[in-house]
Copies of this chain bind each other. A is one copy, B any other.
Amino acid sequence: MPNVVGGMAPDRNRRRIPDATVSRLPVYLRILSEQGDEGVDSISSERLAELAGVNAAKVRKDLSYLGSYGTRGVGYEVAYLVYQIRRELGLTHDWPVVIVGAGNLGQALAGYGGFSERGFPVGGIVDIDESKVGTVLGGVRVRHIDELPQIVQTKRVNIGVIATPGAAAQDAADRLVRAGVTSILNFAPTVLSVPRGIEVRKVDLAVELQILSYHEQRKAGATVHAVPGGGPRSATA
């Protein structure tokens, strides 16, 4: 396997973890944390799989990417597993985020305690609308978007959240990248174009609903369902 030659002295077992696994680790982590709080200190892959709604073999394979931290015949020590997953996900310290767009959604996000609770405190909120600047959301004052670079620098922000209308999302992304942010969570229904190396994840409510719609329509498919007003509609989907 062609590996990157580490310039760093001691090799810290930096295997690459498959994307599918990375997206499940947070789920395991939450479940394990809950179990730990409830006094459970050992858990089998079967039980964890049940709680996570996945296959037990998948759980074991996922966890095996972290190393061999289970005990055969017994299971996994909850506290230790929590520690290992947190370490692997980079959750050993906080990651302040900056929210761009103090509208409907931005306000909900800012007011949501679960953010900082999980290690992602709101380091700042910015908006382009002067009338929004100065208002306080979730204990954080909204500042003008021109102050973005300062906020990113002083608060050492790596993660930006885009909560602007779709038309402004690319602009927001450009500003975030210029300010030094290297990961973006995008709530706007827009495909962003960013430089290589910038990680973008999209949360698109409409897409989710339309996927559900597809399945609903499919369930109804047994009975042929002609829709009133047939013919192509020019749509604003």
Contacts and interface: CB of A to CB of B under 8 A. Distances in A.
Interface of A: 1, 3-4, 7-8, 12, 14, 17, 22-23, 25-27, 29-31, 33, 36-37, 50-54, 79-80, 82-83, 85-86, 88-93, 95, 97, 104-105, 107-109, 111-112, 114-115, 117-120, 158-159, 182-185, 189, 191-197, 199-224, 227-228, 231-237
Nearest to A105: B108
A235 B108 CA distance: 25
A195 B25 contact: no
Which 4 A-B residue pairs are closest in the complex by CB-CB distance?
A: A90-B217, A83-B232, A108-B108, A183-B212
A157 to B, nearest CB: 11
A91 B216 contact: no
B237 A206 contact: no
B211 A201 contact: yes
Contact of A214 (B36, B89, B223): B89
B233 A86 contact: yes
A197 B216 CA distance: 10
Contacts of A199: 212, 215-216
Contacts of A112: 104-105
A218 B236 CA distance: 31
A189 B88 contact: no
A36 B236 CA distance: 9
Contact of A26 (B33, B211, B231): B211
Contacts of A25: 210, 214
Contacts of A222: 4, 12
